[in-house]
Amino acid sequence: MRLPPDPDPEVGATSNPEQVWEEILSEDAAQVLPALRALSVEERAAILAHLRRMAHETGWSDGQARRARAALAMAAGDPRLAGARPDV
């Protein structure tokens, strides 16, 4: 029986979008920040825009909005994610 190959670190974070979203919405800085840092600038901008919609628009559950606000706050407090303001 052969084991699957180790993940290629060059593939990028978007190779498993469900896992990326699980990490971003985990409310755990040890998961949220590395997941956001692994994204390209364009991917990160799209994710942050979506999180802002989740945090501020109607139609999302309270839990979803809370998790989105938590991720935005963590991103805003991380100097390695410059420009990740939660209030935009």
pLDDT of residue 44: 93
Of 4, 3, 28, 29, the residue nearest 16 (C-alpha) = 4
Query: What is the pTM (predicted TM-score) of this model?
Result: 0.77
- Position 1 scores a pLDDT of 43
Amino acid type, 41: V
Q: Is 42 helix (H, G, I), strand (E, B) or coil?
A: helix
- What does the pLDDT look like over 37-80, one tens digit per residue? 999 999 999 999 999 999 999 999 999 999 999 999 999 999 88
Amino acid identity for residue 45 in this structure: A
